[in-house]
Structure 1
Amino acid sequence: MSNKTLYLASPYGFSKHWSLKLLPEFITKLESMGARVWEPFARNSSIDTLSPGWANKVSSSNFNDLKQADGLFAIVNGTPPDEGVMVEIGIAVALGKPTFLFRDDFRKCTDSDEYPLNLMIFSGIPADSWNDYYYSAFDEIDCKKKAIYKWLRN
């Protein structure tokens, strides 16, 4: 089993229902594959959002977690996907972190015929095998032929 840390970027923590129903499914799936999952909403739950400077504390915490994590798993549903998740992807790409994308949203969100999302999101993913880093169904996440499975075992 792996001891690699995955930062889980998603907008699901903003909704009580999503944080109770959707987030745990992703966390459980990734942990069952051997990842240590860092979910930013849970990791920042002790920050008082009524105190001055709370937003800076949250963003600094997230940035530091991204720097320390071994990789990023980003949920990129929506048209466009959540802007915070897009920034987190940009940070991970700039830091050279392995980046894995999940989108089961059937709507197109691109100007490219090749990529299902803004082409810049794929700048940190190998061009010849980007499909191995892109997941369009929940059941694909633990597929042995896909990149995250292989990455967690190396």
Structure 2
Amino acid sequence: MARPSLYLASPYGFAPQWKEQLLPQFCQALKSLGAEVWEPFERNNQIDLSKPGWAYQVACADVRDVEQADGFFAIVNGTPPDEGVMVELGIAIALHKPIFLFRDDFRVCSDSEDYPLNLMLFAGLPEHSWRDHFYSSIADLADPAKALVRWLSSAGAR
């Protein structure tokens, strides 16, 4: 039985230390829960960055992966969060993907007392149980009371 695919949107592939130290922690945590992790920095290594047009090819590959993935997980640290991650999140919202957000950044980045980030980022989450889809530590990802574990269990059963 195929594992559910989960697109991992993050800015952590741009800096060597983040790519080596932070990104693997997320990939491993999500894989250990049963997800097939689609990490775009790893998946786009097959594109030749020395050829003209590589940036457009990368962008199109990322859009295709968001479209084709079963679910979407975004690291939304920063004030504001990374603009590429935000575009990918907007695509996932428009496609009605199951969405999970991670933020362990303590800085306030909100236009509402109800949400820790711009309210538009929560349009793809359930109105009253959005906190079940929002994570603030890697350890919380494995919480069976939260949405990610429940979704992976039900998606894996298809």
Counterpart of 1:26?
A: 26
TM-score (norm 1): 0.98
Counterpart of 1:83?
A: 83
> How big is the shift at 1:2?
6.8
State the distance in 1 between where 2:150 and 2:144 align.
Answer: 7
Counterpart of 1:65?
A: 65
State the distance in 1 between where 2:83 and 2:2 align.
Answer: 30
- CA RMSD of superposed structures (Å): 1.0
Any idea what the Cα deviations from partners look like across 1:26-52, whole Å, max 9, x if unmatched? 000000000000000000012122211
Counterpart of 1:13?
A: 13
Tell me which amino acid in the other structure corresponds to 2:32: S
Tell me which amino acid in the other structure corresponds to 1:84: G
State the distance in 2 between where 1:89 and 1:28 align.
Answer: 21
> How big is the shift at 1:23?
0.6
**Mapping for residues 109-148 of structure 1, pairs under 5 Å:** 109-148=109-148
> How big is the shift at 1:138?
1.5
Counterpart of 2:99?
A: 99
The number of aligned residues is: 154
State the distance in 1 between where 2:130 and 2:108 align.
Answer: 17
Tell me which amino acid in the other structure corresponds to 1:125: L
SS of residue in 2 equivalent to 1:111: coil
SS of residue in 2 equivalent to 1:108: coil
Asked if the contact 1:133/1:148 (under 8 Å) is kept, the reply is: yes
State the distance in 2 between where 1:2 and 1:11 align.
Answer: 27
TM-score (norm 2): 0.95
Counterpart of 2:35?
A: 35
Asked if the contact 1:7/1:38 (under 8 Å) is kept, the reply is: yes
SS of residue in 1 equivalent to 2:97: coil
Percent of residue pairs bearing the same amino acid type? 58
Tell me which amino acid in the other structure corresponds to 1:127: E
User: Structure 2 stretches of 5 or more lacking a match?
Assistant: none
Asked if the contact 1:2/1:34 (under 8 Å) is kept, the reply is: no
